[in-house]
């Protein structure tokens, strides 16, 4: 397929001309290509503290009692000074306010169940507080209810609550009496007053009123959501979910990414261990180096999609893990069964085994599912086993669910090349991944124009312009927007696409992969310029692609290669309302006046103009300056022929009516 690209030099010859007035012609009467109804979407996995310390609103860190420290990174680093190094390993996120008051140790046996075997043993010589710093602090807001629960062993009075790191301000608390030498579950509710000042630096505390021996297992703390969309709304951080809704996603690709595969078979995303009550989920280590409680399990992913009006693109584990191990043939059958069960959980009726389980888990309605993806990035599997594994899954899924479209993670050539019977290989959709710098995005901005229309459809399941860290800058947004014009123009074959990674916790230690779309700390979140570019594109989309002619587009020198065009563009039209959405990206340092000619329609009245721009490409947004680069709205008079001014380093959407 890739051999069919027109060479870049050829495409530049068609568009470049020095010092001419750029002209763009919109051939509205020739709009034929249909924009895929699942075009803009989201991709997610547990990376960069996406859920733990991110979208998943559970506030306490290390509830599974897994994380040890040699003494370097205890509470003091999260909210004060450091403990001396070289001391014996200790629980990392569970700390005594006075370390001389007793000892803390993880027990690895005798937990609350055979699934949650671990607990915290607390031996106290005097009254003291146990503290948890959350994920780089706990956010406290006024007039908010925090619902918690925890398993304790021991007897005596305790107070649980939220307070400032210096312990001087208690934001909310509740007294409890512990009264059992065996595990017993206690629930509590912490209510902040209306005059509490918002902070991201609170800690959770358990004040033990007496010396004694206690144990703690699987505590959780959730703020109550202010808005409820689905049965799971309390599960998601409201501010981050609001940002996602703005992106108007039509799908959510989950659970990965590498998170689907895991480093080993034991660490794959094993969906059956991610449903049901939280404490029945064993959790597992993410390939990105930290513990996942699986509080964001299959149902929470599905409801997340529903929460933003999207459908799932379900990635099913395909028998290959990141250390290179794989299974095929008969050994793959249990994994195929797992995938079929997972689909049944997603779309099955109450009369099916797993559909009934979903109903019991609180979601009676089946979800809408179009695409299932087999594995993730199996082009890394050097054994060549993917073609066999893929076909085993493909045949089994199609036999039971012929309506589903199956996504392959290897291209057709590789699949057929490794197959015993190449003619038997069937591919509906191919998932392509592109992580590039801005220059590479510009150079690739004609990539899909020459893809074979008779071949499989394309899902660009991970892409990003990698400029800026932790979140991307304006330079990245320009590369992204150029790339999106290419995908939109070809959205008859590019049926869906999504940026990755979606999230990053911007605190030190939160990021494993830079150039992310949305950043946050415990309290607030913000969109990068790339985020805003995507919102602008997704919010302004028709259902047909309008062919465009270009003339006099200047070029800009870039890197060591040929110059690249300064402008990138695409138009779509809404065939029901007649609205036209023209998008133009100016990647250069010079302003441009573009003559727009509309053929086959007469735009009238005032057009709405939305612009994202910055003085320098390296400008960006951050927690401290979240709105440095955000879309600006204006209007202008348009006709069949008009001049569109473009600022340097800008992305412009013109919404006009024909």
Q: How far is the CB of 108 from ligand AHR (least distance, A)?
A: 30
Judge if the upstream peptide bond of residue 257 is cis by omega within 30 degrees of 0.
yes
151 vs 513 by CB, closer to ligand AHR: 513
75 vs 253 by CB, closer to ligand AHR: 253
Q: Of 256, 456, 479, 510, which lies in the binding site for ligand AHR, with binding defined by CB under 6 A? A: 256
45 vs 574 by CB, closer to ligand AHR: 45
Q: Of 376, 385, 392, 472, which lies in the binding site for ligand AHR, with binding defined by CB under 6 A? A: 376
409 vs 566 by CB, closer to ligand AHR: 409
Q: What is the 3-state secondary structure (H, E, C) of 222-248?
A: EECCCCCCCCCHHHECHHHHHHHHHCC
Q: Of 300, 377, 488, 543, which lies in the binding site for ligand AHR, with binding defined by CB under 6 A? A: 377
Site string for ligand AHR, 476-505 (x = CB under 6 A): ------------------------xx----
468 vs 501 by CB, closer to ligand AHR: 501
293 vs 409 by CB, closer to ligand AHR: 409
Candidates 255-263, 396-404, 417-425, 536-544 — which segment interacts with ligand AHR by CB under 6 A?
255-263
Location of structure tokens 């964001």: 296
Q: How far is the CB of 500 from ligand AHR (least distance, A)?
A: 4
Closest CA to 127 of 212, 216, 219: 212
Q: Does 348 bind ligand AHR (CB under 6 A)?
A: no
Q: How far is the CB of 288 from ligand AHR (least distance, A)?
A: 8
257 vs 527 by CB, closer to ligand AHR: 257
Cα distance from N-terminal residue to C-terminal residue, the chain:
37
Give CA–CA dist 323/255, Å, rounded: 18
183 vs 434 by CB, closer to ligand AHR: 434
527 vs 565 by CB, closer to ligand AHR: 527
Contact 526, 623 (CB under 8 A): yes
Closest CA to 322 of 390, 389, 262: 262
Q: Does 521 bind ligand AHR (CB under 6 A)?
A: no
Give CA–CA dist 305/303, Å, rounded: 5
Q: How far is the CB of 377 from ligand AHR (least distance, A)?
A: 5
Q: Of 33, 44, 45, 57, which lies in the binding site for ligand AHR, with binding defined by CB under 6 A? A: 45
Residues 528-587 that bind ligand AHR (CB under 6 A): none
Closest CA to 378 of 458, 424, 319: 319
Q: What is the spatial order of strands in the sheet that 518-520 belongs to? A: 503-505, 518-520, 525-527
**Maximum CA pair distance of the chain?**
85
Name the residue whose CB lies closest to ligand AHR: 257
Q: Does 257 bind ligand AHR (CB under 6 A)?
A: yes
Q: How far is the CB of 365 from ligand AHR (least distance, A)?
A: 30
Q: Of 258, 274, 370, 621, which lies in the binding site for ligand AHR, with binding defined by CB under 6 A? A: 258
79 vs 501 by CB, closer to ligand AHR: 501
- Separation in Å, CA 574 to CA 155, 182, 279, 642, 658: 67, 64, 48, 21, 10
Q: Of 204, 326, 442, 513, which lies in the binding site for ligand AHR, with binding defined by CB under 6 A? A: 513
H or E element, residue 128: strand 128-132
Q: How is residue 173 written in tokens?
A: 């608390």
462 vs 574 by CB, closer to ligand AHR: 462
Q: Of 62, 411, 462, 543, which lies in the binding site for ligand AHR, with binding defined by CB under 6 A? A: 462
Q: How is residue 444 written in tokens?
A: 């690739």
Give CA–CA dist 655/43, Å, rounded: 27
Give CA–CA dist 643/429, Å, rounded: 40
Residue 319 gets the label, from left (phi > 0), alpha (psi -120 to 50) or beta, of: left
Contact 304, 269 (CB under 8 A): no
Q: Does 474 bind ligand AHR (CB under 6 A)?
A: no
Candidates 20-28, 117-125, 251-259, 552-560 — which segment interacts with ligand AHR by CB under 6 A?
251-259
Give CA–CA dist 577/636, Å, rounded: 20
Closest CA to 651 of 441, 386, 363, 409: 441
3-class SS of residue 533: helix
Candidates 252-260, 361-369, 539-547, 577-585 — which segment interacts with ligand AHR by CB under 6 A?
252-260
C-beta neighbour count of 227 within 10 angstroms: 9
φ, ψ (nearest 5 deg) of residue 632: -115, 140
Pairing of strands 567-573, 564-565: unpaired
528 vs 579 by CB, closer to ligand AHR: 528
Distance of CA 24 to the CA centre of its chain: 35
Number of residues engaging ligand AHR in binding (CB under 6 A): 11
3-class SS of residue 613: strand
Q: How far is the CB of 462 from ligand AHR (least distance, A)?
A: 5
Candidates 96-104, 256-264, 302-310, 558-566 — which segment interacts with ligand AHR by CB under 6 A?
256-264
Q: How far is the CB of 259 from ligand AHR (least distance, A)?
A: 6
Q: How is residue 304 written in tokens?
A: 């997340």
- Residues contributing to the site for ligand AHR (CB under 6 A): 45, 47, 256-258, 376-377, 462, 500-501, 513
């Amino acid at each position: 397929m890739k051999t069919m690209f027109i060479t870049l030099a050829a495409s530049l010859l068609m568009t470049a001309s020095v010092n001419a007035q750029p002209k763009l012609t919109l051939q509205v009467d020739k709009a034929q290509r249909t924009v895929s109804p699942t075009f803009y979407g989201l991709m997610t996995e547990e990376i960069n503290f996406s859920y733990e310390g991110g979208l998943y609103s559970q506030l306490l860190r290390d509830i599974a009692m897994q994380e040890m420290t040699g003494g370097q990174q205890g509470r003091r680093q999260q909210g004060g000074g450091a403990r001396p190094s070289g001391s014996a390993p200790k629980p990392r996120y569970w700390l005594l306010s006075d370390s001389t008051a007793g000892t803390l140790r993880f027990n690895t046996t005798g937990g609350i169940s055979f699934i949650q075997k671990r607990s915290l043993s607390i031996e106290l010589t005097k009254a003291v507080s146990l503290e948890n710093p959350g994920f780089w602090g706990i956010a406290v807001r006024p007039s908010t209810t925090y619902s918690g629960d925890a398993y304790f062993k021991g007897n005596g009075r305790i107070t649980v609550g939220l307070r400032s790191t210096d312990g001087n301000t208690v934001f909310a608390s509740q007294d409890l009496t512990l009264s059992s030498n065996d595990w017993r579950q206690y629930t509590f509710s912490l209510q902040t007053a209306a005059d509490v000042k918002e902070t991201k630096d609170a800690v959770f505390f358990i004040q033990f009123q007496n010396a004694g021996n206690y144990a703690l297992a699987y505590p959780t703390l959730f703020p109550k959501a202010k808005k409820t969309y689905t049965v799971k709304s309390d599960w998601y951080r409201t501010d981050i979910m609001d940002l996602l809704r703005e992106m108007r996603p039509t799908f959510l690709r989950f659970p990965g990414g590498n998170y689907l595969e895991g480093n080993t078979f034991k660490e794959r995303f094993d969906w059956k261990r991610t449903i049901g009550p939280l404490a029945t989920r064993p959790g597992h280590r993410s390939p990105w180096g930290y513990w996942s409680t699986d509080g964001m399990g299959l149902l929470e992913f599905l409801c997340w999609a529903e929460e933003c009006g999207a459908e799932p693109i379900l990635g099913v584990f395909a028998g290959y893990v990141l250390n290179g191990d794989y299974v095929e043939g008969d050994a793959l059958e249990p994994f195929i069964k797992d995938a079929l069960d997972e689909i049944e959980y997603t779309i099955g009726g109450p009369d099916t085994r797993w559909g009934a389980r979903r109903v019991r888990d609180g979601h009676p309605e089946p979800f809408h599912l179009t695409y299932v993806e087999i594995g993730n990035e199996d082009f890394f599997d050097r054994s060549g086993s993917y073609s066999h594994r893929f076909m085993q899954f493909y045949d089994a899924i199609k036999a039971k669910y012929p309506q589903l479209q199956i996504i392959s993670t290897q291209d057709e050539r590789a699949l057929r090349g490794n197959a015993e019977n190449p003619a038997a290989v069937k591919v509906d959709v191919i998932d392509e991944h592109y992580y590039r710098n801005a220059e590479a995005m510009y150079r690739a901005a004609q990539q899909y124009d020459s893809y074979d229309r008779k071949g499989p459809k394309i899902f660009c399941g991970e892409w990003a312009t990698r400029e800026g860290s932790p979140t991307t800058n304006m330079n990245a947004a320009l590369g992204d927007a150029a790339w999106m014009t290419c995908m939109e123009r070809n959205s008859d074959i590019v049926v869906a696409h999504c940026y990755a990674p979606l999230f990053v916790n911007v605190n030190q230690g939160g990021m494993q992969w830079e150039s992310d779309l949305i950043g946050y700390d415990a309290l607030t979140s913000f969109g990068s310029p790339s985020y805003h570019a995507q919102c602008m594109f997704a919010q302004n989309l028709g259902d047909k692609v309008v062919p465009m002619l270009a003339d006099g587009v200047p070029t800009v020198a870039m890197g060591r290669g040929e110059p690249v065009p300064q402008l990138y563009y695409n138009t779509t039209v809404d065939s029901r309302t007649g609205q036209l959405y023209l998008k133009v990206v100016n990647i250069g340092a010079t302003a441009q006046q573009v003559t727009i000619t509309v053929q086959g329609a007469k735009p009238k009245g005032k057009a709405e103009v939305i612009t994202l721009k910055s003085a320098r490409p390296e400008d960006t947004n951050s927690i401290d300056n979240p709105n440095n680069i955000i879309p600006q709205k204006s209007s202008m008079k348009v006709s069949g022929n008009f001049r569109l001014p473009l600022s340097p380093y800008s992305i412009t959407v013109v919404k006009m009516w024909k």
